[in-house]
Amino acid sequence: MSKKFLKAVKGMNDILPSETPLLQYIEKNIRQVLEAYGYQEIRLPLLESTELFSRSIGEVTDIVEKEMFSFLDTPDKYGNRDSLTLRPEGTAGCVRAGIEHGLFYNQRQRLWYIGPMFRHEKPQKGRYRQFYQIGAEAYGLSGPDIDAEMILMTARFWRRLGLDDLELQINSLGSAAARAAYREQLVSYFSDRRSQLDADSQRRLQTNPLRILDSKNPEMQALIENAPQLLEHLDEASLEHFATLKHLLEKAGVNYRVNPRLVRGLDYYNRTVFEWVTQNLGAQGTVCAGGRYDGLVEQLGGKQPTPAVGFAMGLERLVLLLSQVQVADKSPHAYLLMVGNDAVIEQGLCLAESLRDLLPELRLLTHCGGGSFKSQFKRADKSGAKIALVLGENEVTNQEITLKYLRENRPQFSVAQSELGEYLKTLIIDK
C-alpha cells in the first residue's frame, strides 16, 4: 500500500485549535443576539436533492451553473440514481424542511441555522469551497417591519462584535411583474450596446440580464452606470414597502446607502435586498447578504402563500475582520500531577472526577502518562494552567494535596483533599 500523504481537498480548510476560540466567540455573540430577537435554531442536512437548488436558486445563476458539488447517488433497486448536491446555501433546505414538517401552515416562524456550505469556486482569501454561514429566516410576515427588524438585528451583531466599518447597502427588486417589464428595457438597452459587453454579459443577456448589473468587470462599469434603473420601474406597492423600510431604518438610527445595482446572485429574491459590505477584504467584501423571497415557499410546493425574508453571513470573512480581537483565555485553571505508584493514579483520577462533579465550570487537566515530577511540572507550566495540584505517594497516605501557583510567586501549601473543591472555587474560579 502506498504511504503517500493525502492532503485536504482543495478549498476545504481545517480549522485548528488556535483558530477555534475566535470562531466560538463570534458564534456565541451572534447566537445570543438571535435568541434575544426570538429566533429558534433549525439543523438541516448537508445533502439535498440537486433539483431543490436548481428550482429555488435558479438554473442560470453562478451557483447552479458552475459552483455546485453534485454527484449521483448509488442506484436504488430499480437502478435509478438520484442527483444529490452538497448544499451551497441554507435557504432552500430551510424552506424544504418548513414545508415538509408543516412549519409554515398558518404560522409565523423566526428560524436560524449555522453550518458549512459548499461551492466550487476559485479559492482565495475570504472565498473557499467549504465555508461556514450563520443565517436567519422569518416566515409568514410580509411587512417592511420585519425587514427592518432583521436589518437592525444584523446591525446589532456588528456592534456586539465591535465591527464599525461595515456599510449597509439596500435596494428593492420589486414584484415579479415589475421586474419582467424592467427586464425588457434592460435587454433592449444592452442589445443596442452589445459590442461593449464582455463574454459573460453577452451570455447573460439571453439568460439572466439582471445579473449583468452585478458584473465586477471594471470595463463594464460605465455601461452599467447608465443603464435604466430597476428602482424607477417598481410597482406602487413595492415602492411603498421600500419607503417604509428606509423610514424605519432612519428612525432606528441605522445608516444605509441605496445601491440601485444591488441585484443579488440568486433568483428567488423580490422587494427588499441588502448587503453589509467592507472595504477591507478586497473583492470578498460582502460579509452578510439577504432579502425577501415571498414566492419561494409556493414555488417549492408549499400550499399557502408564505411571505419570507432572510439573510446569511460568512463566518470566515468575519474571522478575517476580527483577527485582532483578543478572546477570553480558555487555558486550564488547574493541572493535576500524579507522581508515584498505581495508588496515586487511582486516587488522582477519582479526585479529578469528584472535582468535576462539584465544579462544572472547572477546567482541569490531568497528567496522564506518568513520568518524573520534573517532567510533569514542565507540562503543567506549558499547559497555561494557573495552579498545579501535586499528588504524590505522601499526599495519598495523608489524603492531602499540594497546591502550587504557576503564574504567581507564592509558597506552595497543602490542603485536605476533601477541602480542595472549596479552595479551587475561591482561589481560581470566582477570582
Q: Is 211 a binder of ligand ATP (CB under 6 A)?
A: no
Task: Select the residue whose beta carbon is closest to ligand ATP and give its number.
Answer: 314
Q: Which of 48, 89, 147, 149 binds ligand ATP (CB under 6 A)?
A: 89
Is residue 57 within 8 Å of 85, Cβ to Cβ? no
**Least distance CB 256 / ligand ATP (angstroms):** 17
**Least distance CB 287 / ligand ATP (angstroms):** 5
Contact map string, positions 234 to 273, toward ligand ATP, x by CB under 6 A: -------------------------------x--------
Among residue numbers 153 through 172, which ones bind ligand ATP (CB under 6 A)?
Answer: none
**Least distance CB 277 / ligand ATP (angstroms):** 9
Is residue 271 within 8 Å of 243, Cβ to Cβ? no
- Separation of alpha carbons 270 and 288, rounded Å: 17
Q: Is 128 a binder of ligand ATP (CB under 6 A)?
A: yes
Q: Which of 316, 334, 345, 401 binds ligand ATP (CB under 6 A)?
A: 316
Here the cell at position 394 is: 505522601
| C-beta of 133 vs 171, nearer to ligand ATP | 133
User: CA–CA distance from 304 to each of 61, 294, 297, 307 (Å)?
Assistant: 27, 11, 8, 10
Question: Which single residue is written with the C-alpha cell 420585519?
Answer: 146
Amino acid, res. 47: L
Q: Which of 104, 113, 131, 182 binds ligand ATP (CB under 6 A)?
A: 131
**Least distance CB 413 / ligand ATP (angstroms):** 52
**Least distance CB 87 / ligand ATP (angstroms):** 11
Q: With CB under 6 A, what is the number of residues at the site for ligand ATP?
A: 19
Window of 98-106, 310-318, 392-400, 414-422 that interacts with ligand ATP by CB under 6 A: 310-318
Q: Is 116 a binder of ligand ATP (CB under 6 A)?
A: no
Q: Is 53 a binder of ligand ATP (CB under 6 A)?
A: no
| C-beta of 50 vs 375, nearer to ligand ATP | 50
**Least distance CB 396 / ligand ATP (angstroms):** 54
DSSP 8-state code for residue 289: E
Is residue 297 within 8 Å of 105, Cβ to Cβ? no
| C-beta of 308 vs 385, nearer to ligand ATP | 308
| C-beta of 224 vs 362, nearer to ligand ATP | 224
Q: Which of 173, 312, 321, 345 binds ligand ATP (CB under 6 A)?
A: 312
SS3 287: strand
**Least distance CB 283 / ligand ATP (angstroms):** 7
Q: Is 313 a binder of ligand ATP (CB under 6 A)?
A: yes
Say how many CA atoms lie within 13 Å of 107 toward its Cβ: 11
**DSSP character string of 135-196:** EEEEES--SHHHHHHHHHHHHHHHHHHT----EEEEEE---HHHHHHHHHHHHHHHHHTGGG
- Separation of alpha carbons 144 and 271, rounded Å: 10
The neighbour count for residue 169, using CB atoms within 10 Å, is 19
Q: Which of 142, 229, 284, 375 binds ligand ATP (CB under 6 A)?
A: 284
Q: Is 363 a binder of ligand ATP (CB under 6 A)?
A: no
SS3 347: helix
Q: Give per-residue burial for 268-281: e unless 16+ CB within 10 Å, then b.
A: bbbbbbbbbbbeeb
Here the cell at position 200 is: 459573460
Window of 93-101, 119-127, 227-235, 405-413 that interacts with ligand ATP by CB under 6 A: 119-127
- Separation of alpha carbons 139 and 143, rounded Å: 11
**Least distance CB 170 / ligand ATP (angstroms):** 14
Here the cell at position 292 is: 425577501
Among residue numbers 12 through 51, which ones bind ligand ATP (CB under 6 A)?
Answer: none
Of 105, 102, 110, 116, whose CA–CA distance to 47 is shortest?
116
- Separation of alpha carbons 284 and 281, rounded Å: 5
Contact positions toward ligand ATP, by CB under 6 A?
Answer: 89, 119, 121, 126-128, 131, 133, 265, 284, 286-289, 312-314, 316-317
